[in-house]
Structure 1
Amino acid sequence: MASTFDSTLSSLGINSTASSAASSAVKSSSTSLGTSDFLKLLTAQLQNQDPFSPTDNSQMVAQLAQITSTSGIADMGTTLKEIQTKLNGTSTSDALSYVGKNILTASDTAYGRSTGGIAGAAEIAGDASDVSVSIKDSNGQLLKTIDLGAQKAGDINYDWDGKTASGADAGTGPFTVSVKATGTSGSVSSQNLAWAAVTAVSVPATGSPSLSVYGVGQVAISDVRQVS
């Protein structure tokens, strides 16, 4: 027994054979039916239905629901595109506001403050029984090791006065900073977080903007831990 859809096509002068033969042509021009197409088919079905055997109400409701769903998905897609455009604009605006500020981000390179020394944070992934921060000069010579002791998972702030282990002035750097953390089961994943100045913003044609950070390079906004 022919389906309601086939009957509608037949009443419009389109038989199943013709429909099958034209399927490849239809696919090449359109891959889906829009809301207007659904409405045209529904209207044609109502106009050509047998008055002694009208379309079943449940079928009508199902087709209307399909139309509503299609329309809703199309509207949702448009809304999401508008939201994406606004979010991209906001991201660019946010990125520009970082210029001239200092941020705390993951980096093993740090530059000394005008008053000497550096401030940063040791980021550890789990609880550790011992955490230490090692500071080396540009030649790889160890200048100072800061013992932070046992620490819980998270960020542990530290401040180095810029003096070597022997008490000499270490200068302004650049310094190479590394974090070592150990726990009951061995080493704990860790990294150094350094303060650095944002000098510019890079806004690519596609994708999210990034910050140009002195001594660090390009940093995504999502990688910023703190701002000062």
Structure 2
Amino acid sequence: MTTTTDSTSSSILSQYAVSNKSSTSSTSSTSSSSTSSATGSQSLGKDTFLQLLVTQLKNQNPLDPQDNSAFVAQLAQFSSVEGINNLNSTVSSLASNYTSNQALQASALVGHSVLAPASSTAVNTSTGLTGQFDLASSSSATSVKVYDANGALVKNIDLGSQGAGTVSFNWDGTSNDGVALSSGTYKFVASATVDGKEVAQTTYLPSTVTSVTVGSTAGDMSLKLADGSSVALSQVKSVGI
């Protein structure tokens, strides 16, 4: 029943509370050294914490017993640590369920057309194509140029002046001369004149989803498109039929 044992137990309890609040912090104090020697390479669990508390009470100095307020504070630390551990387990479980639900919802997109950021896509010229781009501010002159697989300009779609917001454009699958073109991959370049300067715009083009790739989190989920490219689920602007 020595004061040294009491001091060491108190030190271990204090160190345990600190280590659970910040797993990334490090310390080179005597308290940390005592904890290391007492527990080795294993982390302290709530059962070990309680055992240390009981040991501290058994070995306290009868001439200088544990102060009631300190004892209550240590019990409060124990309850807080247990609550935090339970909360972490609950949040991890919810995150896992959320990811699974996202994957299930994303799998329903297979075979459907989505509107996603892309510069080129496969086009069935018999049905044409409808795309979009977003204007941050109004434009005095707006256009979309269509290029074939060889890089030749086949169509210039003049959209005139446009206000800020989403701008839709349609291509009927014909050239500037009105000749129907064959189906294939075409590139779309949108531009807008803002304050006298021509600014390139990001186009959103339709493409069919062929598969879904699930990462470790919902944010890592991506869709593989018919042209072989991939796009993050969060970047999809709209879903077609």
**Does the alignment reach a TM-score above 0.5?**
yes
For residues 20-66 of structure 1, the C-alpha deviation after alignment (integer angstroms, 9 at most, x for no partner) is 87655556422x42211221222233334456644323312321221
User: What does residue range 46-65 of structure 1 map to in structure 2 within 5 Å?
Assistant: 46-50=57-61, 53-65=64-76
Match of 1:129 in 2: 140
Match of 1:73 in 2: 84
**Residues 68/128 of structure 1: CA separation in 2 closer, same or farther (3 Å cut):** farther
> Does structure 1 retain, via aligned residues, the 8 Å contact 2:190–2:200?
no
SS in structure 2 of the partner of residue 42 of structure 1: helix
Q: 1:219 aligns with which of 231, 234, 240?
A: 231
Match of 1:6 in 2: 7
Match of 1:93 in 2: 104
What root-mean-square deviation, in Å, do the aligned CA atoms of Structure 1 and Structure 2 show? Answer: 3.1
**Residues 52/5 of structure 1: CA separation in 2 closer, same or farther (3 Å cut):** closer
Q: Percent identity?
A: 33
Q: Distance in 1 between matches of 2:128 and 2:200?
A: 25
Using the TM superposition, name which of 162-171 and 191-200 deviates more. Answer: 162-171
Q: Report deviation, 1:170.
A: 2.2
User: What does residue range 30-45 of structure 1 map to in structure 2 within 5 Å?
Assistant: 30=42, 32-45=43-56
Match of 1:175 in 2: 186
Q: 2:118 aligns with which of 107, 110, 115?
A: 107
For residues 116-159 of structure 1, the C-alpha deviation after alignment (integer angstroms, 9 at most, x for no partner) is 32111123344433321111111111112222233344421111
SS in structure 2 of the partner of residue 111 of structure 1: strand
Q: Distance in 1 between matches of 2:121 and 2:8?
A: 76
**So what's the TM-score if we normalise by structure 1?**
0.80
Match of 1:12 in 2: none
**Residues 122/201 of structure 1: CA separation in 2 closer, same or farther (3 Å cut):** same
Letter in 2 for 1:151: Q
Question: Could you list the runs of 5+ residues in structure 1 that have no partner in the other structure?
Answer: 10-18
Q: Distance in 2 between matches of 1:148 and 1:26?
A: 75
Q: How many residues align?
A: 218
> Does structure 2 retain, via aligned residues, the 8 Å contact 1:122–1:133?
no
> Does structure 2 retain, via aligned residues, the 8 Å contact 1:111–1:118?
no
SS in structure 2 of the partner of residue 165 of structure 1: coil
Alignment of 1:210 onto 2:222: yes
For residues 89-123 of structure 1, the C-alpha deviation after alignment (integer angstroms, 9 at most, x for no partner) is 11221221001110000111133236332111123
Q: 2:149 aligns with which of 135, 138, 147?
A: 138
Letter in 2 for 1:34: G
Q: Distance in 1 between matches of 2:201 and 2:93?
A: 40
Question: Could you list the runs of 5+ residues in structure 2 that have no partner in the other structure?
Answer: 11-30
> Does structure 2 retain, via aligned residues, the 8 Å contact 1:132–1:149?
yes
List, as ranges, runs of 4+ consecutive aligned residues in structure 1 with deviation greater than 6 Å. Answer: 19-22
